[in-house]
Structure 1
């Protein structure tokens, strides 16, 4: 058993002082406030959130797509074309190395777990591997190496649009018939079983563009784990779905499926007021990726209306162009301020903007990942992040003010000292315990990939 003692900790009871936390078999045991210091001493202790949406391989693209193409209006769709070209270069070994780097960076950023939206299944040109879940196995191996909690979400991707056109080019590495996907999902479970007991298997129908309604219904029968799906990210997507299915994406899902907390809808940056309220009431999790959504020009999530209606959310690093937990939360709030010309957009009476954002992301991310975490409470996985307050950014800051300083002051990552994932002490004194070897391997892969797409 490991014992931590925090000068201040954010618990389900709110902020508490001199908190003793027991960690046993990866889970939190007794949590007791107003205790004498014993065990490992930390300044500020928070529940470490789950990164609820990641495409690990895209980390290697960071910085390669920021130039203007021949089209004066560069959009998400031109970025997607470049992404397809890039992934043509990646081998299974490359993907495992890149994922190890990504997962290490997530831990150092304060995340304890990740929901990996995994759709890179096959070789170049769609060639299948002897093991249909070869690539999923690489993700599992990378997660084990990094020590991060994993919710693996194999992606069903059957066609290139609502008109059911055949997959082309880079998409061929994603595609499966429903029958082939069932085998891939089963094989993914076998790989996941080689990992620690906190690993979770879900399913991810890619989107209403890539999965027909009948295939979606069949995919939902593959177990009772989390269901993640891209929804309403771009206006062109909304228009295409409406033209073929007779309703907007969020509207169609609400009308045709029993959305509940098992569902996580990713992005939802293109919603009407009615859709926003209805989604909030469904208890499904909105999976928000503010940094990637800004990078791709997706649009702004209706955050203030969604929260006012009781909606639940989490955050993810998606394209992994920049992995920064506190900046995801800051960007989420700042987009609301810019749209509405307001301040402290997500704050509420009795809770600052930083606390609303952090608690919401911790709780919502845990639900979306099917993970018993997101809170410093007995029985939860010991997903914890300890931060140093004896510095020029947090000195003499407590409670909500400390959280606001971490999120809006721009130096939150600099304050992270230790991270535990299901009790695994993977970040020590601000560094991942396997950083040197993971970075060395990543550099070798990047040298082989080159600098251009």
Structure 2
């Protein structure tokens, strides 16, 4: 995805950092906003009808899992959980070829764009061939993720995952994990190759992702963190109570407390899920400046539990949202599920708005923009000079938006209309979704359908 040339836009209504504005002239060069002028004349500009919002970042995804969406919804003989779901995932990924990975990733990213996400942090842990051996090009599958992003025009932060152990205390990995596992030296080669591959994309970022505390040792975690350079650092942590109990048994500490005590967790970090926190962890996590990477739809689907959002935000914590397992892909749906989880937990309403009279949808959207941009390590999420020209255009003729203005539009989008209100999506100044459909939908969907039909049969 390489951007060139200039585009002169006129946005009818737009959400700027300072608030709502009309007739906003936006000049774009090389995919980046160079000027923003409210109240401008339309002469010589490409007029964009509707309501422009900054595109939301998706801070956590495993795109290959889109191909198994719905396959784990049959009850098993014992209590179903995240851990039984994981067995279904292992069986599914055992069949994936590099072509399959690219086809499924392109389809998932296309749906992200149609659903209001304009940039992605891909937590990429499928590295090796079906027999567990590295490909001749150690970055083969990372290259397929980059190729898929370039195809659909998705802004990308790719996070090669370090996965070395099967459990706390250096337990051996199992058969289902053989396509993930690297030692530190192999991971260093994989990371360097991914950086080489990502240079083909304009504005791509490469970070690192120790998979989880159960998948690393303290020594290998330290070694991998030394490879991070200045990129983002993402890690799964405290998603399941079993993980908390196992970490306590291994170390005497809860996972987030252990991580905060043993690593220099700061604004570069994204702690994914972090579902199960005690009061001290909430306080210290918020103080660290790291982002909570929340995936409310997946967390509900897997039965993970409910993130302590009210207390975390009260402590000054930052969050963004991601689509994780991609069982359903909708940016506004992730925000809605987050708020609804808090309503169920606390038996109240409008719990994630900060003050009386504030729009809950706007509060959620603004916070997820800022936290997502921080987690992806890219200049995105704001309609201002120096940032990528990534916009979601809502259809102001949609019945659910009729008669609404300013923040009420975001409330209707998040809590009522969802992705049906999205008319167009612009990424790096290029229109990639028009009339609610990706410009390459037919081609990408056909390839995906053939791929998953073969795998599932």
Q: Which of 231, 241, 245 lines up with 2:247 in the alignment?
A: 241
Q: Which of 13, 18, 23 lines up with 2:23 in the alignment?
A: 18
Alpha carbons 1:125, 1:169 under 8 Å: kept: no
Query: What is the aligned partner in structure 2 of residue 92 from structure 1?
Result: 98
Alpha carbons 2:14, 2:24 under 8 Å: kept: yes
TM-score, normalised via structure 2 length: 0.96
Query: What is the aligned partner in structure 1 of residue 378 from structure 2?
Result: 371
Please identify, of 218-227 and 50-59, the stretch whose mean Cα deviation from structure 2 is larger: 218-227
* CA distance in structure 1 between the partners assigned to 2:395 and 2:27 by the alignment: 20
* 3-state SS of paired residue (1:43): strand
Query: What is the aligned partner in structure 2 of residue 315 from structure 1?
Result: 321
2:15 is aligned with 1:7: no
* CA distance in structure 2 between the partners assigned to 1:4 and 1:273 by the alignment: 48
CA shift, 1:383, in A, is 1.3
Once the two structures are superposed, what CA deviation does each residue of 1:137-191 show, in whole Å capped at 9, x if it has no partner? Answer: 1111111111101101000000100131221212000000111111111111111
Describe how 1:198-217 pairs up with structure 2 within 5 A: 198-217=203-222
CA shift, 1:245, in A, is 2.1
Alpha carbons 2:424, 2:433 under 8 Å: kept: yes
Query: What is the aligned partner in structure 2 of residue 385 from structure 1?
Result: 392
* CA distance in structure 2 between the partners assigned to 1:413 and 1:243 by the alignment: 44
CA shift, 1:6, in A, is 2.5
* CA distance in structure 2 between the partners assigned to 1:446 and 1:80 by the alignment: 19
* CA distance in structure 1 between the partners assigned to 2:41 and 2:332 by the alignment: 31
Query: What is the aligned partner in structure 1 of residue 193 from structure 2?
Result: 187
2:426 is aligned with 1:420: yes
* CA distance in structure 2 between the partners assigned to 1:6 and 1:390 by the alignment: 15
Once the two structures are superposed, what CA deviation does each residue of 1:213-243 show, in whole Å capped at 9, x if it has no partner? Answer: 1111111111210000000000000111121
* CA distance in structure 1 between the partners assigned to 2:174 and 2:84 by the alignment: 15
Alpha carbons 1:4, 1:42 under 8 Å: kept: no
Query: What is the aligned partner in structure 1 of residue 223 from structure 2?
Result: 218
Q: Which of 153, 160, 166 lines up with 1:160 in the alignment?
A: 166
Describe how 1:78-117 pairs up with structure 2 within 5 A: 78-117=84-123
* 3-state SS of paired residue (2:402): coil
Query: What is the aligned partner in structure 2 of residue 49 from structure 1?
Result: 56
2:295 is aligned with 1:270: no
* CA distance in structure 2 between the partners assigned to 1:391 and 1:134 by the alignment: 43
* C-alpha spacing 1:170/1:231, structure 2 compared with 1 (3 Å): same
Moved over 4 A (4+): none
* 3-state SS of paired residue (2:28): strand
Query: What is the aligned partner in structure 2 of residue 397 from structure 1?
Result: 404
TM-score, normalised via structure 1 length: 0.97
* CA distance in structure 1 between the partners assigned to 2:204 and 2:428 by the alignment: 10
CA shift, 1:257, in A, is 1.8
Query: What is the aligned partner in structure 1 of residue 3 from structure 2?
Result: none
CA shift, 1:428, in A, is 2.0
CA shift, 1:44, in A, is 0.5
Once the two structures are superposed, what CA deviation does each residue of 1:78-131 show, in whole Å capped at 9, x if it has no partner? Answer: 001111111111111100110010111111111111000000001123122111
Aligned residues: 448
Alpha carbons 1:124, 1:170 under 8 Å: kept: no
Query: What is the aligned partner in structure 2 of residue 305 from structure 1?
Result: 311
* CA distance in structure 2 between the partners assigned to 1:6 and 1:340 by the alignment: 40
* CA distance in structure 1 between the partners assigned to 2:200 and 2:396 by the alignment: 38
CA shift, 1:425, in A, is 2.0
2:68 is aligned with 1:61: yes
CA shift, 1:284, in A, is 0.2
- Unaligned ranges ≥5, structure 1: none
Describe how 1:321-360 pairs up with structure 2 within 5 A: 321-349=327-355, 351-360=358-367
* CA distance in structure 2 between the partners assigned to 1:185 and 1:22 by the alignment: 35
- Unaligned ranges ≥5, structure 2: 1-5
* CA distance in structure 2 between the partners assigned to 1:241 and 1:390 by the alignment: 52
* 3-state SS of paired residue (1:276): helix
* 3-state SS of paired residue (1:145): helix
In angstroms, what is the RMSD of aligned CA positions?
A: 1.2
Please identify, of 323-332 and 239-248, the stretch whose mean Cα deviation from structure 2 is larger: 239-248
